[in-house]
Chains A and B, each alone.
Chain A
Amino acid sequence: MAALPSRPLTRRTALTIVLLVAVRIVVAAQSAAVGASRVISLIPATTEMLFAMGAGNKLVAAGSYDHYPPEVERLPRVGALLDPNIERILTLKPDLVVVYGTQTELKNRLDRANIPYYTYVHKGLPDIGETIRSLGARVGVAPQANALAGSIESGVARIRNNVARLPRPKTLLVFGRERGSLRNIDASGGVGFLHDMLEAAGGTDVLTDVGRQSLMMTTEMVLARAPEVILELRYGPPAPGDDEDLRQWNTLAAVPAVKSKRIYQLRGEQFVVPGPRVVQAVEQMARTLHPEAFK
């Protein structure tokens, strides 16, 4: 096979290429400065962040599980973590899609369609501010995002200081279990958002040595870890059997939290959505653990 004759670039061709690249860079820089204007967020936490930083008007669709703030209800839904509807996403012509880190297939498809995306992953409490700052820069509201992140961080720091000198009760943070029994107890492990919130609120996580975000606990583990306080997180509206359900813990009479009747239910979506309402969630926890610090 004959090789193609190589020809040196003429000065004119080289100049054209340089010009094209320069134009591309300028356009990219300009669009970065203006930020995305048609955003789709598939995750409740990032949807809340976008509204809180004043970019709610840029959202053209949201995930199926996004219900806060109330304005989100007017947006069309395009699936969520497991069932993103790529057809609807493409139809809405977004210029930024906020996806979860594990949505590999969705990211591949967005790449093929040349649609930029922002990858989000739930991590710890400090990452909320970081996410707000970087997401704000991507949608062109960096000053508002920085201010929001700053107010969240100072809010958490204020609560942390409030309880800093108080004794830290050994606390078990439960975020799910089979109602009417002590089966399938889901508890926060020694890393992640829930663990960080508990530590900031002045509690010591009884599972702090477990290097996982969550753990399914047995009654044996509850007895062995002997928590002084049990906090149960609930998300839905109050149900008639709630008090009776909380009394299930009384079976474990040797647990200090049962003896001292320090078992509490905390209710609200803010406990499971690592977003702007985190200060409210940490304060509720801190007020429960240390009511004396908020008198």
Chain B
Amino acid sequence: MRGRSDVRGRLLGTIAAFGALTLVCCLVAPIVGSTRISLARVFSRTIPYADNVDAQVFFIARLPRVIAAVIVGSGLALSGVVFQALLRNPLASPDTLGVAAGATLGATIAITMHADFSLFGVSVIPVASFAGSLGALVIVYLLSLARRRGTSSTVLLLAGIAISALLSAIGRFVQYLAEFTDTARTMQWIMGSLDVGNYAPILAALVPLGLAAAGFATLPRVLDLISMGTESAEARGVDVVRAERIALFSASMSTGAAVSLGGPVLFVGIIVPHIVRLMVGADHRLVLPASALFGASFLVVCDLIARTILAPVELPVGIVTAVLGGPFFLWLLFRRVR
């Protein structure tokens, strides 16, 4: 009983600390930017909205991208935690299983074919990238099932790498045949951007994210056991096959939603879980919520840097996350080798 209340106390403390950090980032980020705005004007009732530039900068330009950063950051971080536990490999990330390559292929095809319709106010490019990322994960999952009942982490990992390479090659082939301007547009998409323009893509992303959240909620205890090995988890009564399916489904939904919203933003899915584990330990009951909150804060800050450091020129957010994440990734790698 005491152990359970200890965990509950730590969980509340962790959520309070990381939640406060996320809250501060989310409150500061929409106020700061390349244009100076006054909060008094933003919320002024005397200036009509159509004439209120400050309110429009706040509500149209900044707030949607802060919300998008929260969704993308937490979605990728949660997927990273799940993939690392499932594959029992600290270097696993949403990119490892071909999700980024699948999403890029989907977006590349949509851009190259000049598909110009929209679904429920969402342009076809995020829809195509979402479909591409899910498609890649479905192929990888089916391949890993072919070997035995339930997934094999090694087969899953290797199949992911192979499918990732194959989809990247197809994507490059499509780009090679594409018009020059379409190739440039694909490159822009690959570098990632959270300037979503309006709230429609955010609302669309909430559907798969809601499904993912329902799946993630069932996972913390199971992931702790699976990350020790499937046999020992089964010995403790875990239905490993079912748990793996839920984990993969939730991680796919959350990665697909995140990538469709912001492009394949690099390193968030791999570095955030590791930073969080260094801070709160390996217990997934703490790691999952803390990663979601820290991933959100991390990306909000990266996006703030991306849009202000070279203003008026804006850096793609993927470059900022990679510049911050790259050295950390190398440190992690060498730490493991030693």
Q: A65-B179, A252-B60 given as contacts; is B116 within 8 A of A241 (CB)?
A: yes
Residue in B61, B117, B125, B193 whose beta carbon sits within 8 Å of that of A241 in the complex: B117
Residue in A81, A221, A236 whose beta carbon sits within 8 Å of that of B180 in the complex: A81
Q: A65-B179, A181-B123, A259-B50 given as contacts; is B198 within 8 A of A221 (CB)?
A: no
Annotate B290-332 by CB proximity to A: 1 below 8 A, 0 otherwise.
0000000000000000010000111000000000000000000
Q: A215-B313, A219-B60, A224-B57 given as contacts; is B193 within 8 A of A253 (CB)?
A: no
Q: A65-B180, A216-B314 given as contacts; is B50 within 8 A of A253 (CB)?
A: yes
B196 touching A226, Cβ below 8 Å: no
B198 touching A226, Cβ below 8 Å: no
B193 touching A220, Cβ below 8 Å: no
Q: A218-B307, A254-B51 given as contacts; is B118 within 8 A of A180 (CB)?
A: yes
Task: Other than A183-B195, A184-B185, give 11 A-B pairs with Cβ distance below 8 A.
Answer: A182-B198, A183-B193, A183-B197, A220-B57, A221-B34, A221-B312, A223-B35, A224-B34, A224-B57, A226-B53, A254-B55
A73 on interface, CB distance cutoff 8 Å:
no
Residue in A180, A181, A218 whose beta carbon sits within 8 Å of that of B314 in the complex: A218
With A and B bound together, what is the CA distance between A210 and B310 in angstroms?
12
B43 on interface, CB distance cutoff 8 Å:
no
A102 on interface, CB distance cutoff 8 Å:
no
Which of chain A's residues have a CB closer than 8 A to the CB of B5?
Answer: none
Nearest Cβ distance between residue B184 and chain A, in whole angstroms? 8
B123 touching A220, Cβ below 8 Å: no
Q: A65-B180, A178-B123 given as contacts; is B56 within 8 A of A253 (CB)?
A: yes
With A and B bound together, what is the CA distance between A215 and B188 in angstroms?
12
With A and B bound together, what is the CA distance between A139 and B60 in angstroms?
54
Interface size on B, residues (CB 8 A): 39
A212 on interface, CB distance cutoff 8 Å:
yes
With A and B bound together, what is the CA distance between A241 and B180 in angstroms?
23
Residue in A212, A236, A251 whose beta carbon sits within 8 Å of that of B313 in the complex: A212
Q: A176-B181, A220-B57, A254-B53 given as contacts; is B188 within 8 A of A184 (CB)?
A: yes
Q: A81-B180, A176-B185, A181-B197 given as contacts; is B60 within 8 A of A251 (CB)?
A: yes
Annotate B55-66 by CB proximity to A: 1 below 8 A, 0 otherwise.
111001110000
Closest to A259 in B: B50
B52 touching A254, Cβ below 8 Å: yes
With A and B bound together, what is the CA distance between A184 and B125 in angstroms?
12
Nearest Cβ distance between residue A100 and chain B, in whole angstroms? 12
